[in-house]
Amino acid sequence: MTGRANIIVLHNNGGQVELSGPLTVGAALNQAGLDDGVFIAATVNNEERDLSTLLECEGSFEVRGVATASAKGMKVYARSLLLVLLAALAERDIEPERLIVKNPLDYAIYCRLEGANADEVKAIEQQMRKIVQAAWPIRREVIKREKAMVLFEGQGLVERLPLLEQLERETVVVYHCGQATDYLFGVMAPNAGYLKHFAVEPHQDGLLIRYPSADNLSVLPHYVEQPGLGKIFREADEWGKITGCASIARLNRLIDNGDVHELVRVAEALHEKKLAQTADFITNHREAARVILIAGPSSSGKTTFAQRLSVQLQVNGVKPVPISLDDYFLDRSQTPRKEDGGYDFESIDALDLELLNEHLELLLSGDAVKMPRYNFMTGQREYRGHTICLRDDQPIMLEGIHGLNDRLTVGVPAWKKIKIYISALTQITLDEHNRIPTTDVRLLRRIVRDSQFRAQDALKTLRMWPDVRAGEERNIFPFQESADVMFNTALIYELAVLKKYAVPLLAAIRREEPEFDEAHRLLNFLHHIRSMPDEAIPPNSILREFIGNSWFAQ
């Protein structure tokens, strides 16, 4: 029933404007004196909504614009480009089931398009530009799940059907653009005219959709091929084929039928085999390479990976000596600070690089070294009588976020180092057009781990996550292609385990908190996934680092 909506539009400078509805979100921003062209979406009562959302019922609505030039805004931009791509395919009578959205690259999304050639990709880009220039509307519709299933079956998107059948709610949101209708997870731009800057290029057996960064919406960043990352994504595809479980719908079916234990065993065996291969690679180079460097983003499972790799190396007769980078923090008074005045412990300059390299050189020369121990309570380095010395065949193992940055080990020649990059690169998808972001898996891992072992609720974890991600962009991702070995720590079944831990933590976040929007998004995503028991997960699994009962817990 239509009523008088009380709408409060919040400005980023702290001001606010009160309006009366009914109004669309976009109209409310405009009437509040904000340039609606700057925004691609908005939050309404801390929940992300389309600008076309009508605020009409009685009640109070707090509206804050989501700028296109923001991390959140660029996710909407990229997602909307996929819908425009589908609209272009429809205009050219290309079946939507030919398109499979694969993985993100450097400000780009790689999509497989069966049978595509360069001429066809060029024609698709030209059609997309026509749609953008004409600012075709993008329309949101809430429909019954059964109606959506009939709709997508008619389009040939049969992989979508079991996912919707298993969904834990009765309605779904679909978006329309031209002749294209799809179920894409998240809000969209109001129309295609918001997406002026993009490129579509042939890539492998499909195409690459390139888009700008939040730093400059009018320029596409120079695309840099990442062969190492591409190889690990292809390996993830292969693991999906080996397990026979490439989509959430298939995982749900295994859980419903009680057949998931075999999947767990095969997924864990794939990890063990790759760990053994990595240990063999290191063993074959042990006469020269004496320093093993392990790096990866937050919640990639570095600690368990390092310990499992150490076990595999010992099987080969190699016993690495671990050194904790935490013990090389500078005294608190020398620690660099962030813009807000807080200590920047994630900066490489928070480490005493001179002392670390001095110790590495002494150890590699066969000398004994008195090892420091950092006291986090006092913020000072201490010496407690711990001394180490290496045998000729013993490598040093260093694990930390800066492992691939040559500044960390500048005193060690490159030929003496083996660099390993690890991350959780998801092998499983929601369906053909909805990939699962790797960052979502790592975030869910961290939420669960922080609650289990650090007495930290999901609200605090979500509040810290943007800073964590910014640190990864600065300190980890620029160096990943320098790795000698890349290891994917994702487990194809893990979301079904993390769900039962994460849902109550996310559900506890109140709407009044700015982080409610992200919690709500993750909860909606988890609605697609069945929960499974964790008794079958072995104690040496990387997943145990996050849920508990790991062999390697200290």
Do 299 and 199 fall within a single domain? Answer: no
Do 261 and 384 fall within a single domain? Answer: no
Question: What are the tokens at 361?
Answer: 């050189």
Domain boundary among 341, 360, 394: 394
Q: Is the dihedral of CA 61, 64, 65, 70 positive or negative?
A: negative
Any domain includes 554: no
CA distance linking residue 357 with residue 335, whole number of Å: 18
Element (H or E) spanning 356, and its range?
A: helix 353-364
Do 481 and 540 fall within a single domain? Answer: yes
Residues of the domain holding 31: 5-67
Any domain includes 552: no
Do 266 and 401 fall within a single domain? Answer: yes
Whether cis (ω within 30° of 0) applies to the bond prior to 538 is no
Do 409 and 389 fall within a single domain? Answer: no
Any domain includes 535: yes
Question: What are the tokens at 437?
Answer: 């972001």
- Give the number of other Cβ atoms within 10 Å of residue 503's Cβ: 16
The per-residue pLDDT for 554 is 59
The closest of 267, 273, 269, 268 to 244, measured between CA atoms, is 267
Any domain includes 288: yes
Tell me, what CATH number does 77's domain have? 3.30.980.10
Do 368 and 459 fall within a single domain? Answer: no
CA distance linking residue 327 with residue 338, whole number of Å: 21
The per-residue pLDDT for 3 is 59
The closest of 74, 434, 118, 40 to 220, measured between CA atoms, is 74
Q: List CB contacts of 27: < 8 A, sequence separation 6 or more.
A: 36
Do 305 and 426 fall within a single domain? Answer: yes
Number of domains in the chain: 4
Q: What is the pLDDT along the chain (554 residues), one digit of tens a residue?
A: 455 788 899 887 778 999 988 999 999 999 998 876 799 999 999 999 999 999 987 788 999 999 999 999 999 999 999 999 999 999 999 999 899 998 888 899 999 998 889 999 999 999 999 999 999 999 999 999 999 999 999 888 888 888 888 887 889 999 999 999 998 889 999 999 999 999 999 998 899 999 999 999 999 998 888 889 889 988 988 898 899 898 999 999 999 999 999 999 999 999 999 999 999 999 999 888 899 999 999 999 999 999 999 999 999 999 999 999 989 999 998 999 988 888 888 899 999 999 999 999 999 999 999 999 999 889 899 999 899 999 888 999 999 889 999 999 999 999 999 999 999 988 888 888 998 988 999 999 999 999 999 889 999 999 999 989 988 999 999 999 999 999 999 999 999 999 999 999 999 999 999 999 999 999 999 999 999 999 999 999 999 999 999 998 75
CA distance linking residue 448 with residue 424, whole number of Å: 15
Any domain includes 553: no
pTM for this prediction: 0.93
DSSP label at 217? T
Do 163 and 202 fall within a single domain? Answer: yes
CA distance linking residue 431 with residue 126, whole number of Å: 27
Q: Is the dihedral of CA 515, 516, 519, 521 positive or negative?
A: negative
The per-residue pLDDT for 158 is 84
CA distance linking residue 61 with residue 83, whole number of Å: 29
Q: Cα separations (Å) of 52 from 4, 11, 14, 63?
A: 18, 19, 24, 13
Do 423 and 533 fall within a single domain? Answer: yes
Do 411 and 367 fall within a single domain? Answer: no
CA distance linking residue 545 with residue 187, whole number of Å: 33
Q: Are 65 and 40 in contact (CB under 8 A)?
A: no
The per-residue pLDDT for 180 is 94
Q: Is 498 helix (H, G, I), strand (E, B) or coil?
A: helix
CA distance linking residue 424 with residue 427, whole number of Å: 9
Do 196 and 301 fall within a single domain? Answer: no
Any domain includes 543: yes
Question: What are the tokens at 446?
Answer: 């961290």
Q: Is 485 helix (H, G, I), strand (E, B) or coil?
A: strand
CA distance linking residue 263 with residue 245, whole number of Å: 8
Domain boundary among 47, 67, 87: 67
CA distance linking residue 201 with residue 105, whole number of Å: 13
Using the CB atoms, write b or e for 111-127: b if 16+ within 10 Å.
bbbeebeeeebebbbeb
The per-residue pLDDT for 240 is 86
Question: What are the tokens at 366?
Answer: 């066969």
Q: Is 415 helix (H, G, I), strand (E, B) or coil?
A: helix
CA distance linking residue 305 with residue 278, whole number of Å: 11
Domain boundary among 41, 67, 93: 67
Any domain includes 268: yes
Tell me, what CATH number does 63's domain have? 3.10.20.30
Any domain includes 267: yes
Q: Cα separations (Å) of 10 from 34, 69, 162, 413, 524?
A: 10, 18, 41, 55, 26
Do 436 and 501 fall within a single domain? Answer: yes
CA distance linking residue 173 with residue 296, whole number of Å: 35
